[in-house]
Amino acid sequence: MTTLPDAQLFIDGKLCGAANGSTYDVISPWTGQPAGKAADAGAADVDAAIAAARRAFDDTDWATNHVLRLELVTKYRALFEANRARLSDLALHEAGAALGAVGRAHVDMALDGWDDYLRVFPALKYERDYGTRPAFGGEHHRFAVYEPVGVVAAITPWNVPLYVNIGKVVAALLAGCTVILKPAPNTPGMGAIFGELAAEAGFPAGVINVVFGSDPALAGEMLVHDPRVDLISFTGSTGVGKRIMEQGAQTLKRIFLELGGKSAKIVLEDAPDFAMEVASTMLVFHAGQGCAVQSRLLVPASRYEEAKAILGHAYGRFGDNWGDITNPAHIMGPVISKRQMERVMSYIELGKAEGATLIAGGKARPDKSPDGGGGGFFIEPTCFGDVTNDMRIAQEEIFGPVLVVIPFKDDADAIRIANDSSYGLSGGVSSGDVDRAMKVARAIRTGTMSVNGGMCIAGDIPFGGRKASGMGQEWGLEGIEEFLETKLIARRL
Ligand code: NAD
């Protein structure tokens, strides 16, 4: 198996190890064995990164020099392009993305998103004129100026690390903020490369800093508590998101949250290709580890048995065509970690105990490990029928290759079921009648919605969650504006 380059921290313009010399093993999800080593940042390293970011924001012209920002972020993008092979390697070996998924959600979509940010950036407004108004016997000219919020801590997950890191770091830099990137412990390399290439691009010291460590909470908690940090941009689980909001209140931090999901896809009975719509909901891409995946399939009760048969057939056809690290056609590999595997398997057991029936899968498959050692974190593509929306497998985010299929009576019932969720991140509806589908789409309380397969996620449009799926928008012009604050200036004429 590959050994990844050592992942180093990047603090105040310098690549470095942890101050106390600690390192930890980065575990390959394919084998359960070490694939590389990463510096294990401690409190001193996080403190130094915060101090550097604060200095760079307060003492340099980074916040106001738009020309320099665009120039450096463009150069930075070119360096990522030159490192495509390395990025693919990291997605494969750290995040466990199968080769057929590496090119799509992991590297291509992420770099395309960066290009989209650069394309929308010129439309960013730095001022808005509100005109004049009389008050106290004189005329007053009022205008708003939009200023970078300051030091941003970007705390990111392991599932699509390049995509999420770019979503935050590039937007914050373009807005004029300085950044501390804190990737997940499982994917430090995809963070470390932001430091290495920032050094090569020549960013002023402290504008970008990267810290990570084996303790999932240590650096993040410090960033959330520290008054020198102005904004937390967090993507991850709803539980940690709640904690960040609570802890961040101590210093009244700006908080941006992209959290979990349990999105519903509704296939109405008049969908032009009912079988294709049902079968294509199979939750296999990147082993279902996507926040916006449609993990609840809602089908008409009148066609429920037919839908189950379609899925049984589709999963059968998919068969064992997954989990081979060398196969470029495979889109599904292992789940990220032993802990995640145990968590997903416990949901599969829970589903059985709740009375749902397995249409496909249901087993761990350590035999898929390429080294024959059985140490990889593989779970079969799994689908449950006879599910009601009140079951925990229908309500809780499993974050693995597990789809649940739920019947509905009519459109109103489908809308009710889709909305009967603490989450509201994404979703979809398919129908031969576009007006009918649009009516359903408008009625779902969610951040993004796909109608008849419409692609609702891309770098030039905003993405965000409702309810327990978070708050704020990432990507698009809105994604850059998240890092700005409004100052209103009025001048007596
Ligand atoms: P996680 O919440 O466990 O960790 C996310 C990040 O937070 C990691 O960097 C982790 O080290 C850090 N962290 C952990 N405890 C912390 C604390 N107490 N204070 C501050 N930071 C802390 O999530 P995960 O397991 O890495 O990722 C999976 C989750 O991410 C899923 O719930 C998924 O839905 C969500 N996700 C959401 C989106 C989205 O855009 N909405 C995108 C990708 C993933």
Q: What does the DSSP assignment read for 257-309?
A: EE----EEEEE-TT-TTHHHHHHTT---GGGG--TT-EEEEEEEGGGHHHHHH
Give the pLDDT band of residue 2 (cuts 50, 70, 90).
low
- The pTM of the whole model exceeds 0.95: yes
Confidence of residue 1 (pLDDT cuts 50, 70, 90): low
**Domains of the chain, residue spans:** 9-259+470-492, 263-458
What pLDDT score does 3 carry?
Answer: 82
Predicted confidence (pLDDT) per residue in 457-483, tens digit: 999 999 999 999 999 999 999 999 999
Question: Of these residues, 196, 277, 291, 482, which one is catalytic?
Answer: 291
Contact 222, 48 (CB under 8 A): no
Section 48-72 average pLDDT: 97
221: pLDDT confidence band, cut at 50, 70 and 90?
Answer: very high
In the annotation, is 94 catalytic?
Answer: no
Examine the pLDDT at 372 and tell me if it is beyond 80. Answer: no
Which protein residue's CA is at the shortest distance from atom 32 of ligand 1?
237
- Among the residue ranges 31-35, 241-245, 370-374, the one predicted with the least confidence is 370-374
For residues 391-413, average pLDDT = 98
Tokens of 350: 């829970």
Q: Give the Cα separation of 445 and 250 in Å (integer).
A: 30
**Element holding 256 (H helix, E strand):** strand 254-258
Pick the CATH number of 263-458 from 3.40.309.10, 1.20.140.10, 3.90.1330.10, 3.40.640.10: 3.40.309.10
Residues 90-101 pLDDT 10s: 999 999 999 999
Residue 434 has pLDDT above 90, yes or no: yes
pLDDT at 132: 98
* pLDDT (mean) for 278-301: 98
Q: What spacing in Å lies between the alpha carbon of 63 and ligand 1's midpoint?
A: 28
For the chain, what is the mean pLDDT? 97
Give mean pLDDT, residues 332-345: 98
Please tell me the residue having the least CA distance from ligand 1 atom 23: 236
Angle between helices 189-201 and 84-93 (to 10 degrees): 160
What confidence score (pLDDT) does residue 238 get? 96
- Which of 156, 231, 259, 474 has most ligand 1 atoms within 8 Å of its beta carbon, as the pocket-test mutant? 259
Q: What share of the chain is helix, strand, coil (3-state, %, to 5)?
A: 40, 25, 40
Q: What is the pLDDT of residues 100-122, one digit of tens each?
A: 999 888 999 999 999 999 999 99
Q: Which of 166, 240, 246, 285 to mutate to test the pocket of ligand 1 (most atoms within 8 A of CB)?
A: 240
Report the CATH architecture of 9-259+470-492: 3-Layer(aba) Sandwich (3.40)
Distance, CA of 296 to CA of 245 (rounded, Å): 28
Q: What pLDDT sits at residue 371?
A: 77
- The per-residue pLDDT for 103 is 87
pLDDT reported for residue 150: 98
Q: Check residue 462 and give its pLDDT.
A: 98
Asked if the model's pLDDT at residue 61 lies above 80, the reply is yes
